[in-house]
Structure 1
Amino acid sequence: MIVKTAAGRVSGTRVDGVHAFLGVPFAAPPFGERRFRPPAPPEPWEGVRPAVEHGPAAPQLPAQDIGLFAPDVFRPGADCLNLDVYTPDLGVAGLPVLVWIHGGGFSTGANSAAWQRGHRFARDGVVFVAANYRLGFEGFLALDDAPANLGVLDWLAALRWVRANIAAFGGNPADVTLAGHSAGGAAVVTLMTMPDAAGLFRRSIVMSGSATLVAPLAEARAHAKELAARLGVRPLREDFAALPPERLLAEQPPPMTGQLDSLGESVPIKPVVDGEVVPGVPLEAIGTGIGGHLRLLAGCTSQEADVFVRRMVEGIDAGTARGAAEGLGFPYDPELPPAELVARAVTHHLFTRETRLLLRARSAAIAPTYAYEFRWESPVESPAGGGRVGAVHNLDLPFAFDVLDAPGVARTAGQGAPQALAREMHGAWVRFVRDGDPGWPAGVKRILR
């Protein structure tokens, strides 16, 4: 089971009855002389390179296990610009391709996440690719003399690798669907509007994403200067490249602080509108019809942030809750407990509203737009507090990937998670990747529950 790529031959393994090629480099390690520089082509190798284990993740802080989601432990390393490929059959050609960008607030995560492995897509005739990319300051810091969007350039490098190499794995480079969740969904929307990504994919899936998750260049440069001052260095590539990654990680802000006055703010680390790689705010570009030739499937869960926010604002008084909710554009409901009111407001502001804005902006699109909402509610009580898990952020992932047997699913979804819903959702995603139609009319929101 050997495949020849542009950089050399790789040998894979078998996972759940399909072929898997894990940790395949799509770019050179972005450290040493390459640190804070655009991705370079992978270094060629002689012989056959084993591709039987997940590759290193980008440097990141260890994730806190709050008793929800997959208990993933990622292994960071310098050779982090790698991808995993799952394919049903090396002896065929022209299979549809799904390229996946993981979420994590642009600061955590990896392509090896247990709820996002693509073997079940390969089982159903799709060549699945999941790519790592630089995270945090390594990927999105706007230094004075370095590109501001290194993580974005990594996405482009992965897509170009797919175009050049995926035929060797049975895939059709002209039939690529790009998909992502949360920050990965925002990445997909951003790429939909980028000239450099034109022609690299033909369909998009945006799960719990945003079309406004970008920072103005002036703001990003100012943040880099503030960080440089704290570290006692200049905001230049040379100075930052001399710092160990651990020093930068120690300065990274968390995706959500838990402070009431910042609950409605988006993640602090994100792509930058530099006028070149990222020409403008994606939502504005989509509203003018840019990316409108791409078929789109987009949606979110109904209770994305509820359980987290309820825990953060436990004990909040009614007046403060009302002010917080109305400040986020959410109508006051005296029937709701104060913590529940704020929780729903944050979910509305960061997820439901963002999805609606994206769908409305697509009114100028030529290609169809398909919408969904995931409403199945887990009955599990969150061990971290905040009440029942409900239709929480990330819960739709094991359903879309049809991996209800993956680690951590039972403790988040309970023992009775409906396999029928996983078959329905996963089947819709497969149909969209294969035919561009998930199985319901365009412009009509499908409720998944």
Structure 2
Amino acid sequence: MAVTESRKPSEPGSSELGPSAPSEPSAPEVRTGAGVLRGRREAGLAVFRGVPFAEPPVGALRFAEPRPVRGWDGVRPALAYGPPPPQSGVLGVSQDVAGDDWLTLNVWTPEPGPAAGLPVMVWIPGGGYAMGDSSLPEYDAGHLAGSGTVVVTLNYRLGVEGFAQVGGAPANRGLLDQVAALRWVRDNIRAFGGDPDRVTVFGQSAGGGSVAALLAMPRAAGLFHRAVAQSVPGTFFSPELAADIAAACAAELGVEPTVSGLSAVDPALLPAAGDAVFAKTLQWRERWGQITHRPIPFAPVVDGDVLPATPWRALAGGAARDVGLLVGHTRDEHRLFSLIDGVLGQVTREQAETALRMLAPGPDGASRYRRAFPEAADEELYELVNADWLFRMPSLHLADAQIAGGGRAHLYELTWPAPGLGGALGACHGLDVPLVFGNLGTGQTAALIGDPSSPAAEELSARIREAWTAFAAHGDPGWPAYDADRRLARLFDTPSTVTSYPEEASRLLWRDHTFPALPLLAGQ
């Protein structure tokens, strides 16, 4: 594979692609296994967008494992992001790009060509396994790649298409899409200047959960060498629970929860079915339990094949002992969701008791929380138990599982309180994303940082990017590895410090919890 610099308009590509766009001066061209791509120069980087890594999963390929992309003749422009996969509309995110070529990725590289040998970072977007789009401005990787790293961002199937337990279809199709993208990286990234033997996967929220799942998946073994898991959700489903949710979504559409039944439904209509089902969460509480409290319709399924075990069990058994792990969370993980739900500053004692009763571990978890935090008011307890159940303790336990299995882990917590919105959200869920990418004034999280961003925010972002890229390059983010005795963690703040993990009261409450696959309950 080779890279060239195009200096004249190319011949038209294949009829399937349409005519190639006129070349720009010094537009970079890279030959992949499927054909030649032309990108563009941006701020000293070569950028390739909308690169297909698998065939569109529609028609005969609907609900199937991803199929390798077919080759093309001529030069394929890689100038625009691919269309996002069909996804939930609960947050009102606009999908302006139409099309079914959902399985695409994007590459930023400072030095295309097989001789560069740069570390590679592959970003998996979050969004509750129901939303996610690599074209979001907060995922622009110019700042990260500018430090001497090849960065790849990708799309994968979501919701019913990607994660529902569908009769006749493989489980975890969204995860299989991610594996297909990693195989593409292994086979092609050298031509973009990347080292296929130094690949780091990183992701946040559902992206962090995907990273955790990939660590446990035999199909992903050897495709990456380090992993950064940001705010890992603890929600992994049993096949029975996932199948029951899929049946409810299919019933909403009047079809069977099978490949033949759901394939008759336009892909654009499927997300609305999931939204409709989880708009009626109380109806399902006795069957689905905890996921109706913080509505979570989709998650990876511990099916015994694609995903043989939960990440915590797999890592404790040594499944990823040869993969370096950087994992952590924000301090105030749930406060953003309280804002979205309209309860921020208004949580009642009844709401706090419901959350404690449903989420706290053990038969007397609610009373144990109140004893552990005797000065906490109802709202603080509500925030704590939600944050601990969904993100904080799953992330901590992933580090514990990794070292128990003989691997190496580094732990962090983002404690810097965001100044935006009057400081009401603190170090909330998602705050790490603009800091990691360095895009402080763009995207959905820009309001958290403040406009304009402060010098302190810029400095903190630079330090986090430095840690992430150093970890990708040589496995050391700049602070000691985590162990069961000292439990050292980097607290990202202004200034940052290294200290014992600060959420000790929560750690003790959850010490014996194993984060098993969530079951289908017996209630009707």
- 1:53 corresponds to: 80
SS at 1:228's partner residue? helix
Residue in structure 1 matched with residue 265 of structure 2 by the alignment:
243
**What letter matches 1:89 in structure 2?**
E
Pairs within 5 Å for 1:47-446: 47-62=74-89, 64=91, 75-91=97-113, 92-210=115-233, 212-253=234-275, 265=294, 267-309=296-338, 312-313=342-343, 315-318=346-349, 320-322=351-353, 324-325=355-356, 327-329=358-360, 331-332=369-370, 333=373, 335-381=375-421, 388-414=424-450, 415-417=452-454, 418-443=457-482, 444-446=488-490
Distance 2:490 2:110 in 1: 29
1:56–1:138 CA distance, 2 compared to 1 (3 A) = same
Q: Secondary structure at the match of 1:155?
A: helix
> Over aligned residues, Cα RMSD in angstroms?
2.4
1:264–1:350 Cα contact (<8 Å) kept: no
| Cα distance in 2 between the residues matched to 1:227 and 1:409 | 31
The CA deviation at 1:60 is 1.5
Identity among equivalent pairs (%): 39
Question: What amino acid does structure 1 have at the position aligned with 2:40?
Answer: T
Per-residue deviation, 1:178: 0.9
Q: Secondary structure at the match of 1:321?
A: helix
Q: CA deviation at 1:147?
A: 1.0
In structure 1, what is the Cα distance between the partners aligned to 2:226 and 2:277?
Answer: 28
Say how many residue pairs are matched: 439
Cα distance in 2 for partners of 1:327, 1:407 equals 34
Question: Do the aligned partners of residues 405 and 328 (structure 1) sit closer, same or farther apart at CA in structure 2, a change above 3 Å counting?
Answer: same
Q: Give the structure 2 partner of residue 68 of structure 1.
A: none
Give the Cα–Cα distance (whole angstroms) in 1 for the partners of residues 42 and 87 of structure 2. 27
Question: Cα offset for 1:326?
Answer: 5.4
Q: Contact conserved, 2:104 with 2:155, CA < 8 A, in 1?
A: yes
The more displaced of 393-402 and 307-316 is 307-316
Is the alpha carbon distance of 1:319 and 1:252 closer, same or farther for their aligned partners in structure 2, counting shifts above 3 Å? closer
Q: Supply the distance in 1 between the matched residues of 2:309 and 2:448 (Cα, whole angstroms).
A: 38
CA shift, 1:103, in A, is 0.3
List alignment gaps of at least 5 residues for structure 1: 66-70
Question: How far off is 1:283 after superposition?
Answer: 1.2
SS of the aligned residue for 1:247 comes to helix
**More displaced stretch, 155-164 vs 256-265:** 256-265
Question: Match for residue 60 of structure 2?
Answer: 33
Name the amino acid aligned to 2:413. Answer: E
1:258 CA displacement:
10
Residues 58 and 439 from structure 1, CA distance in 2 versus in 1: closer, same or farther, beyond 3 angstroms?
same
Shift of residue 188, structure 1, vs aligned partner: 0.7
Q: Report the CA distance shift for 1:218/1:341 in structure 2 as closer, same or farther (over 3 A).
A: closer
Matched-pair contact (CA < 8 Å) for 2:66–2:177? yes
Q: Which moved more, 1:276-285 or 1:326-335?
A: 326-335
Work out whether residues 309 and 339 of structure 1, in 8 Å CA contact, stay in contact via their aligned partners in 2.
no
Distance 2:172 2:326 in 1: 26
Deviations 1:406-434 (A, max 9, x none): 34554221134421101111100010000
2:406 partner SS = coil
1:51 & 1:201 partners in 2: Cα distance?
25
Query: What is the alpha-carbon distance in structure 2 between the residues aligned to residue 348 and residue 406 of structure 1?
Result: 29
* C-alpha contact 1:264 1:349 (8 A) present in aligned 2: no
The 10-residue stretch of structure 1 (190-199 or 344-353) with the greater mean CA deviation from structure 2: 344-353
Q: What are the Cα deviations for residues 130-178 of structure 1, in whole angstroms up to 9, with x where unaligned?
A: 1100111011121221112211110110000001110110111111111
TM-superposed deviation, 1:16: 2.6
> Quick one: which amino acid aligns to residue 57 of structure 1?
P
CA distance in 1, matches of 2:358, 2:258: 38
> Letter of the aligned partner of 2:378 in structure 1?
P
Moved more, 182-191 or 318-327: 318-327
SS of 2:275's equivalent in the other structure is: coil
For the residues of structure 2 that align with 1:142 and 1:439, how far apart are their CA atoms? 41
**What CA distance in whole angstroms lies between the structure 1 residues aligned with 2:331 and 2:408?**
23
| 413-422 or 81-90, larger mean C-alpha shift | 413-422
One-letter code of the match for 1:81?
L
Secondary structure of the residue aligned to 1:422 is helix
Write the letter of the residue equivalent to 2:462.
Answer: R
State whether residues 163 and 173 of structure 2, in contact with CA within 8 Å, keep that contact through their aligned partners in structure 1.
Answer: yes
Separation (CA, whole Å) in 2 of partners of 1:123 and 1:264? 42
Q: What's the CA shift for 1:108?
A: 0.6
1:255 Cα deviation after fit? 11
Q: Which moved more, 1:255-264 or 1:107-116?
A: 255-264
Distance 1:439 1:32, change over 3 A: same
| AA of the residue aligned to 1:178 | V
How far residue 72 of structure 1 moved from its aligned partner, in angstroms, is 7.4
TM-superposition CA deviations, 1:376-409 (whole Å, max 9, x none): 1112227xxxx71211111111111122243455
Q: Is the 8 A contact 2:53 2:69 kept in 1?
A: yes
Q: Within 2, Cα distance between the matches of 1:118 and 1:54?
A: 13
Change (3 A) 1:33 1:186: same
Q: Which amino acid in structure 2 is aligned with residue 350 of structure 1?
A: L
* C-alpha distance 84-28 of structure 1, shift in aligned 2 (>3 A): same
Highest CA radius of gyration, 1 or 2? 2
